[in-house]
Every structure is written in C-alpha cells, then in structure tokens.
Amino acid sequence: MPVAASAIYFLNLRGDVLINRLYRDDVGGNMVDAFRMHIMQTKELGTCPVRQIGGCSFFYMRISNVYIVIVVSSNANVACAFKFVVEAVALFKSYFGGAFDEDAIRNNFVLIYELLDEIMDFGYPQNLSPEILKLYITQEGVRSPFSSKPTDKPVPNATLQVTGAVGWRREGLAYKKNEVFLDIVESVNLLMSSKGSVLRCDVTGKILMKCFLSGMPDLKLGLNDKIGLEKESEIKSRPTKSGKTIELDDVTFHQCVNLTRFNSEKTVSFVPPDGEFELMKYRITEGVNLPFRVLPTIKELGRTRMEVNVKVKSVFGAKMFALGVVVKIPVPKQTAKTSLQVTSGRAKYNASMDCLVWKIRKFPGQTESTLSAEVELISTIAEKKSWTRPPIQMEFQVPMFTSSGLRVRFLKVWEKSGYNTVEWVRYITKAGSYEIRC
C-alpha cells in the first residue's frame, strides 16, 4: 500500500487549520490537536519529520509559512508520501502562479479542495500532472471539458487525457512559432577544509525545458557525456580535462523520456509535455571545475580583536562573469565594531546573522578580490574559547558556465508535419552549499 493517507492538513505557523481533508475514517477528528500538542508546541518540531503519536504516524513538511501534515494509520511508504507532498505543492504553485504560502492558500482554498479531491482518492494518489488537471480544473471552473458543445474541436480526446496513457501531452496543439528553450542549471556543492583541501565536492544538475511545439514532436538530445559519446563513435575517449566528455554518476529522467531507448542506445529521446518541465537530473562527482577559490586567513589577536582577510579568486573563463556573488564570513556573537575594506563590491557587518556580508554584483572571470576587516570584540569573562567558527558560505550564479563541463551537442526536433523549430540553450551554475571552513 503506497500511501493510503487518512487525512491531510495545511496549518499555518500558529497551528490554525487552513485546509483539512479527511480521506478515511480510521483516524479521529482530533488529529490536528494531537499534532499541535505533541509536535508544534514542543521542541520536537523540526527534530524529525516523521512522528508517531498514538496509533498514527504524522509526516510533516514546512513549506514557506505553512505546514503540510499527512496522517496515516498503517505502515505507509514514507518516500512516496513526501514525494506526494512535494508534487502537490508544485501543482498548487503552478495554479497560483509562483508563491505557495498562507495567503495564497487562503485566497485559493476552494481550488485547493477541488485539487485535493482529484489528486488523492481515499488516500491513494491519483493524477498529479498539472498538464492534465488544468484541462478540467480551471480557476474559473465554469464548465467541464466534457460538457462543452460537440462542435468544440480540442476536446474529443479529453477523456483519454484525464487518465490516458500519454499523460503528459495532449493532442492538437498548434503554435505559430515553434520554439524550444533548454536550460542546464547546475548547483555546485563544496566543502573545503581550513587547510584548503577539498573534502567533498559534487554537482547536481538539471535540464529544464520549455517547449512551445505543435503536434506530437519527437525530440532527441545529445550531450557530451561519456557513455553517450562512447556509444556513438565507439572511440574510447580519455578522461576529461578540457571538459570534453563528462561522466555522469547518475541520471534520472522525466517520465516522458523513453528509458528503454536510453538504456539501449544511450540517447535521450522523448515526446515533451507542453510548456515547462524538468527533463532530467544528474549528479557528478568527478572532474568538477570550481568557479571560485576562497582563501581565508583569520587571526585572533588577543581577546578583543580579530583580523579577517578573505581572498576570492574566480577561476572560470575571462570572458565570463559571475552575478550576485555573496560571501558570508562568520564572526563571533560579541562583535562590537568592524572596519571593512574591500577591493570590489560592498561589505557590511550583519549583527543578526553574526556575519560579515560581502556582496559583489558582477565578478569577472580570472580576477580576484579581497576583503580585509578588523573586528573588535566585547571582552567577556565567562566564555573563554566558546567561538567555534562556522564555515564561510558563498552564493553566486555564473551564466554560460557549467561546473561539470556538460554541453548540449545537439537537440533534434522531429514532427510529422516537418516544421522548423528555433532552439535556445542556456547554461548557468549556481552555488549549492558552498562552504569553506576557516
């Protein structure tokens, strides 16, 4: 039994019920109270996302200022339940247009009830695909697609689409201009020791697509990944240095991708859903190019003074640049005064985060920038060595750069009417958790 959720609740941070939907009678009506009493109002909150109270298990997730709670009374599949919540939230977001928070829920609660009815029946997940649901649950919702007059063109197949086999695309789409947008978005995670050695470093990437294509097109995507290239040319390529071939540790695909063909021919071929979707996700641990090097030196001079010196080097191509670079350098709680000097950007002391926040809006490649700061501390008697230095954290975005070196080699669109398409490809690398211990 995958989920068989007995009830689902949406609560705000104070514990007020925003939405409640009871699917089964096997849990009492006071489940919300149990959740409030035993989880929200205790220190337990946030220590574990799965809790058992009485005979029931509670799965809860916080999303912005809302708690979503699933209650089950049996031995449920946890991974499935959490995935369901994540998917449901994505669905709601696609309906509300972006934000998912308390206000959005209050403004759309009728819609949410409608959706909850469709996406889960008696605790079993049903269809969660926004593409299909939007066919018959509309914000106006005046009429169902079935009740429309028989002369209306696009609906004859609607019944099939509600539950049908090609769940992600409906027939009869037509665009004047056929366009495909493809984004490779990578987030690079780094954990560097205070001695400058890389403890852990990997890239999680995803390929996002936006398709505005007519008919039922077949797409084929070629990347410079090792397996794909090997299969294609049967040439054994050397391990990459120049970013020519990339070894993907693991790949997962959107359900539209023909996995059998991927396994036999190593090509990514698919009939895309209409509009935006995530085509694939991948993970890479070998041969990651770090876009930034951070060299911190922090000296504690006596009890009340500290000297902080942080040098940041950009190691990507000189023609590229990073945007929105933020470096957060932790300082002790008892910081009294700071004097900061930077070679570029702006820096200031943020007392609520106990950090020096250094922002550089545009950071060109192959350059370096330094921050030097003097920090004065209030002398305290009680704690001698209490300051355990949290790591320096960094945020950035580097357009047209991939840490993994992954590149799109081709993107072919084939449709029986043979129209021309315009393809757009973009790359961007963001900081995931980029931490440097000091």
Partner 1 sequence: MAPPAQSQRSHSPSQPSGKGEVSDLKMQLRQLAGSRAPGTDDSKRDLFKKVISYMTIGIDVSSVFSEMVMCSATSDIVLKKMCYLYVGNYAKYNPDLALLTINFLQRDCKDEDPMIRGLALRSLCSLRVPNLVEYLVGPLGAGLKDGNSYVRMVAAVGVLKLYHISGSTCVDADFPALLKHLMLNDPDAQVVANCLSALQEIWGLEASSSEEAVREREALISKPIIYYLLNRIKEFSEWAQCTVLELVSKYAPPDSNEIFDIMNLLEDRLQHANGAVVLATIKLFLQLTLSMTDVHQQVYERIKAPLLTLVSSGSPEQSYAVLSHLHLLVMRAPMLFASDYKHFYCQYNEPFYVKKLKLEMLTAVANESNTYEIVTELCEYAANVDIPIARESIRAVGKIALQQYDVNAIVDRLLQFLEMEKDYVTAETLVLVKDLLRKYPQWSHDCIAVIGNISSNNVQEPKAKAALIWMLGEYAQDMQDAPYALEGLIEDWEDENSPEVRLHLLTAVMKCFFRRPPETQKALGAALAAGLADMHQDVHDRALFYYRLLQNNVSVANSVVNPPKQAVSVFADTQSSEIKDRIFDEFNSLSVLYQKPSYMFTDKEHQGPFAFSEELGNLSIGSEPADDILPAQRVEANDEDLLLTTIEKEENRAHGNNDSAYNAPAYDSSLSQLAVSQTDGELLSLDQTVPADAPQPSSAIDDLFGLGLSIAPSPAPSPPLKLNSKAVLDPSTFQQKWRQLSVSISQEGSLSPQGVAAMMSPQALLHHMQSHYIHCIASGGQAPNFKFFFFAQKADEPATFLVECIINSSMCKAQIKIKADDQSASQAFSALFQSALSKFGMA
By CB under 8 A, is residue 79 in contact with partner 1? yes
Q: Taking a C-beta distance cutoff of 8 angstroms, is the pair 272, 430 a contact?
A: no
222-281: contacts with partner 1 (CB under 8 A): 249-255, 259-260, 262-263, 278, 280-281
167 touches partner 1 (CB under 8 A): yes
244-248-250 Cα angle (round to 5):
170
- DSSP letter at 276? E
Cβ(360)–Cβ(369) under 8 Å?
Answer: yes
Helix (H, G, I), strand (E, B) or coil at 271: coil
Quick check: 92 binds partner 1 (CB under 8 A)?
Answer: no
Enumerate residues 6+ apart whose C-beta is below 8 A from 388: none
Which stretch in 220-228, 234-242, 288-296, 388-396 sits in contact with partner 1 by CB under 8 A?
A: 388-396
- The stretch near partner 1 (CB under 8 A) out of 196-204, 212-220, 232-240, 415-423 is 196-204
96 binds partner 1 (CB under 8 A): no
Measured from the CB atom, is 54 or 239 closer to partner 1? 54
396 binds partner 1 (CB under 8 A): no
- Helix (H), strand (E), coil (C) string for 371-406: EEEEEEECCCCCCCCCCCCCCEEEEEEEECCCCCCC
Q: Does the protein bind partner 1 through residue 323 (CB under 8 A)?
A: no
Near partner 1 in 4-33, by CB under 8 A: 4, 16-20, 22, 24-25
Q: Say if residue 228 is exposed, middle or buried (CB neighbours under 10 Å; 0-12, 13-18, 19+).
A: buried
- Give me the sign of the Cα torsion angle 356, 361, 365, 367: negative
Q: State which of positions 343-382 bind partner 1 (CB under 8 A).
A: none
Q: Single out the segment in contact with partner 1 by CB under 8 A; choices: 93-101, 139-147, 235-243, 344-352.
A: 139-147
b/e burial code for range 157-176 (CB count within 10 A of at least 16 → b)? ebeebbeeeebbbbeebeee
User: Nearer Cβ to partner 1, position 281 or 293?
Assistant: 281
Residue choice 122, 339, 348, 351 for contact with partner 1 (CB under 8 A): 122
Q: How many residues bind partner 1 (CB under 8 A)?
A: 99
CB of 416 vs partner 1, minimal distance in Å: 23
Among 113, 152, 237, 417, binds partner 1 (CB under 8 A): 113
A 10 A CB-CB count for 377 gives 19
- Measure the CA–CA gap between 163 and 186, rounded to whole angstroms: 34
Q: Give the Cα separation of 112 and 350 in Å (integer).
A: 39
Name which position in 55, 156, 172, 399 contacts partner 1 (CB under 8 A).
Answer: 55
**Could you give the strand order of the β-sheet that contains 17-22, starting from the edge strand earlier in sequence?**
17-22, 7-12, 66-72, 56-63, 50-53
Out of 143, 177, 346, 361, which residue is the one contacting partner 1 (CB under 8 A)?
A: 143
Show the tokens assigned to 171: 């027939």
By CB under 8 A, is residue 2 in contact with partner 1? Answer: yes
Comparing CB distances to partner 1, the nearer of 92 and 321 is 92
- Indicate whether 155 belongs to the interface with partner 1 (CB under 8 A): no
Phi/psi at 62 (5° precision)? -100, 130
Choice between 164 and 239, CB closer to partner 1: 164
Is 202 or 321 the residue whose CB approaches partner 1 more closely?
A: 202
Piece of 126-134, 232-240, 319-327, 363-371 that binds partner 1 (CB under 8 A): 126-134
